[in-house]
């Protein structure tokens, strides 16, 4: 039986202005799982990632980890790449190792490997202004992978991309996950993306943020383009669509809650643990 990587127990988060972002949320993530958090704006998806990463503190509840030094084994990919415009691709990927005190000579092989994993060989000396949106996101992912994490937090990393680029990056990410078997917690608003990537989709409702469904995606890996047009894929998408509808019906209008969740997804503090 697969052991737990992260266990969130009875988590609540209340902001200083009184907004209840999360209420009594309990969620268990197993090692090597690919779990997507799916739900409407304001349901606390990004807040969950920020609590796991330690960027914000919970109000009540606790988080249990499977290892003794969780933050050293965690990487965070934000919605925006937030690359240093004055630095090359290589130097952007090197940044988290530099912050750990690792010299370029010692870090070279790891940086080169991370760049190769996201298929950016030949662009090591390019600057962000010379890259497409999809390539910038690949650099952001490589910057996370260079730390050799066990847990990868991803906050809508492909949300701003066109559908063709998004589809390709979904496939590339899935290929990497199958090879490396990280534990991935992936935030998305996109049902089709969640079904394609995940072996579990956790549906959340807003005001207050809470889990209303935990749907296993039992289709086998590897998943190809054929899966996207299969009857099983359609069935999972329909099921999640119905769950999302129920989530939207259970929310109480509160613009402050929407703001708390959507703003958190745009903040991009430096976090290369």
What mean pLDDT comes out for the span 31-46?
Answer: 93
CA distance 17 to 40: 21
Burial of 47 (0-12, 13-18, 19+ CB in 10 A): buried
Taken in order of first residue, the domains within the chain and their CATH numbers are 4-29+42-223+242-266 (3.40.50.300)
Give Cα separations from 180 to 33, 141, 151, 173, 267 (angstroms): 11, 14, 11, 10, 28
pLDDT of residue 72: 60
Render pLDDT for 73-92 as a digit per residue (tens, 0 to 9).
899 999 999 999 999 999 99
- Quickly state the pLDDT bin for 253 (edges 50, 70, 90): low
Cα separations (Å) of 96 from 30, 81, 88, 109, 257? 26, 14, 14, 14, 32
Identify the pLDDT of residue 207.
Answer: 81
The Cα angle at residue 60 between residues 57 and 66, in degrees rounded to 5? 70
pLDDT score for 137: 95
Please, what is the average pLDDT of the chain? 89
Report the predicted TM-score, pTM, of the whole model to 2 decimal places: 0.88
Q: Could you report the per-residue pLDDT of 102-133, keeping only the tens digit for each?
A: 999 999 999 999 999 999 999 999 999 999 99
pLDDT score for 270: 42
């Amino acid at each position: 039986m697969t052991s737990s990587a992260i266990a969130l127990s009875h988590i609540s988060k209340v902001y200083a202005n009184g907004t209840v972002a999360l209420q009594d949320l309990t969620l268990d993530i197993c090692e090597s799982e690919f779990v997507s958090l799916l739900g409407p704006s304001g349901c606390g998806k990004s807040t969950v990632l920020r609590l796991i990463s330690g960027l914000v503190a919970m109000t009540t509840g606790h988080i249990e980890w499977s290892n003794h030094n969780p933050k050293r084994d965690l990487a965070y990919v934000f919605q925006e790449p937030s690359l240093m415009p004055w630095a090359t691709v290589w130097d952007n990927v090197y940044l988290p190792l530099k912050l750990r005190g690792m010299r370029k000579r010692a870090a070279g092989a790891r940086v080169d490997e991370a760049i190769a994993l996201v298929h950016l060989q030949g662009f090591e000396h390019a600057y962000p202004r010379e890259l497409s949106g999809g390539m910038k996101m690949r650099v952001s992912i490589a910057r996370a992978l260079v730390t050799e994490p066990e847990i990868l937090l991803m906050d809508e990393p492909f949300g701003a991309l066109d559908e063709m680029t998004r589809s390709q990056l979904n496939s590339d990410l899935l290929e990497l996950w199958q090879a490396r078997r990280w534990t991935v917690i992936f935030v998305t608003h996109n049902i089709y993306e969640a079904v394609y990537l995940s072996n579990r989709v956790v549906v959340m409702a807003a005001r207050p943020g809470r889990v209303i469904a935990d749907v296993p995606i039992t289709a086998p890996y590897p998943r190809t383009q054929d899966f996207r047009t299969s009857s099983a894929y359609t069935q999972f998408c329909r099921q999640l669509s119905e769950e999302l509808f129920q989530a939207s019906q259970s929310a109480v209008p509160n613009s402050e809650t929407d703001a708390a969740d959507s703003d958190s997804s745009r903040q991009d503090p430096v976090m290369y643990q």
